[in-house]
Amino acid sequence: MIEIEQSSKRGFAYGKESFELLKSVKRLKFQNEKYERTGSADIWSFDVEEYERIESSIDLLKISNLKCRHDVNFTFTTVHRLPQEGWEELIDCWSCHNSEFKGMLDLKIKPRKNGILVSNFYLIAGEKVLPECCKARTKMFYNELTCEFSVEQLIFKFFEEYFEMKNSIILKVDGKSYEIKLFYRCILIEKNDSFVFNEHDAFKVGYKETAKNNDEDSYIGDYFKIKIIDQLGRNSVKLSVLGYALSFITQ
């Protein structure tokens, strides 16, 4: 696994195999490599002379191929974003002193009859959008239907937006609470079983179990919370910083 920090042009190769892989990435020029063994991990650091990669995240407003669990198409003409989670906390910032926007808290969010409202992990469908077999619920998480975006893309998009506001989050999964803390954004390079290079936009994060609690993460859904923790375990590099295990969130 090779990591390139985008802002500082520093890179790290985790393990001897990754350092050999580093030499094979033709579009990457580097210098001043330095070896260090930390605990049970072999790490090579290096300065990046030249490397360019641009990978854009998904645009939820371009969602188009939706099917219910019975493989029946949704029929919709408009797509709009739902307000960002926690928007209610910001209402007092919208006015000077009269709190004239507080009445918005009493309003119910409702899509147009032929439209859908999309969030990072779920959507709300208008009354004419859903097929007859699935009209019982208008709110559905993406794992309950079929769409063109992968689980990894949805998770990455969520953190891309979330980390613009906050640098940590607490998720409750199977009775345990996990704190996930952002370190920085980077690029991750790996080689798959077919010896093809996979390059990903990524967030370098630390995570750990915590006694802290969060009862306001239901908007993520149990399915996606489990997938997030699974990905952190899968991408772990067996190092820790300040009590946090190091890992990566990729798309």
Tens of pLDDT, residue by residue over 119-151, are: 999 999 988 998 888 887 889 999 999 999 999
17, 106: one domain: no
Residue 173, amino acid: V
pTM above 0.85, yes or no: no
Share of the chain above pLDDT 70, in %: 86
24, 48: one domain: yes
**Rounded Cα distance, 140 and 137, in Å:** 7
124, 81: one domain: yes
**Rounded Cα distance, 49 and 28, in Å:** 8
Domain that holds residue 144: 60-148
Whether the predicted pLDDT of 240 surpasses 50: yes
Which one of 121, 148, 175 terminates a domain? 148
168, 107: one domain: no
Which one of 93, 114, 148 terminates a domain? 148
pLDDT band for 87, please (50, 70, 90 cuts).
Answer: very low
92, 131: one domain: yes
52, 167: one domain: yes
Q: Can you give the pLDDT at residue 104?
A: 53
**For 16-20, 75-79, 220-224, 245-249, which range has the lowest pLDDT when averaged over its residues?**
16-20
157, 241: one domain: yes
User: How many domains does the chain contain in total?
Assistant: 2
33, 78: one domain: no
162, 244: one domain: yes
Q: Can you give the pLDDT at residue 156?
A: 96
Which one of 132, 148, 164 terminates a domain? 148
90, 129: one domain: yes
Q: Which two tokens stand for residue 185?
A: 């954004």
Q: Can you give the pLDDT at residue 198?
A: 80
188, 107: one domain: no
Q: What is the CA radius of gyration of the chain?
A: 21
**Average pLDDT score over residue span 146-167:** 94
Share of the chain above pLDDT 90, in %: 44
